[in-house]
Structure 1
Amino acid sequence: MTSSRVYGGVEAPDRRAERRNRLLEAGLDLLTSGPAPNLTVRGVCKQAGVVARYFYENFTDLDELTAQVYDGVIGQVATSTQKAVDAAPLRGKTAAGIANIVHAIAEDPRIGRLLFGSNSANSVIAQRRSAAEQLFATLSGQHLNKTYQLANDESMRAAAYFAVGGVGQTLAAWVSGQLNLGTEELAEILTRLLEPIRR
């Protein structure tokens, strides 16, 4: 059992939340440390600066940690992108969404490496990426339907998957260094490539 007492003016629930956040940050650091990161409970705890019992206070195993790291990152990106799109004028919605994603990766390269890096050997990340593609295809379809009044049919769904796949592959090439483009240039190119979908 964990203590419910106050230490240094910090309540027990706050201490638990702080340890959990440190473990998630450590997981993100280690999962994006190379093409085939060697994730261990000991390594995560060392990176987070906590003992192993606190790992198991929050996660049953490394797969659960990996899933929660990925879900947290994709949730943040999806939420901020949707807000950017909603706030933009009609003809600027595509540009706003793309710019948000590109800037999120530029500001924290770990996001790009987790979502688009070459770590697909991790089965949890591979499964989460597949689910994320479905999520972004759905959001893209909603965007095409609301913004450009495209019929909500199989043709629109195909366009949504095409957009998500093309953007994903381009971002993967950028993250890996195969594309030597600045942040603004990349966002502009992706937006320009996506614009014909609306016609």
Structure 2
Amino acid sequence: MMMTKPTPSDRDLIELAKAGDTNAFGELVRRHQPRIHRLAVHMLRDRSEAEDVAQETFIRAYQALGRFDGRSEAYTWFYRITINLSLNRIRSRKTSRASQDTDDPRLDGLMTDRRPTSGDPAGSASRKQLYQTLCAGIDELSDTLRTTLILVCIDGRSHEDVAAILGAPEGTIAWRVHEARRKLKGFLDARGFDPEGDGT
């Protein structure tokens, strides 16, 4: 009777990749690329830049395979690279920042994450306005608060995971999320939005 081979863990795939198995690294990319790309979209607010960063993340990771010591999870390592590349891009373009595009790719995710409102175009339009304002508020946060908020509230990572990704204590992560939410609430309040009373 043939036994089915167990699915290799990320760590197994990294060890195989270190030994020269390019298919193993390709499997790691397939596993993690969607979330890495989504993270980059939320960090950069630009789809094509996010694609570049996601691609560069895996190129950098592949080039640095020998330095991966296995003390952290593979996804933690990929996330760190993505965040660093994204922040570098944001800083380099701050001097020549284009006006905010109304076609913000982050809205797609926010709108589809909510229940459908096909029968309520007015509600859908007001929700879109709220999300656009919310995205603008997220942009006003410091890099540190924005990155932490994206990882916890948008990507759905636990405080423990985010602490490992960002190299900060869990208590600090909890404080950053609280502070980011407080600032966002103030930003929305000042513009006449009441997220608690929105009904979404």
- TM-score higher than 0.5: no
Q: Which TM bucket (shorter chain)?
A: 0.3 to 0.5
TM-score, normalised with respect to structure 1: 0.34
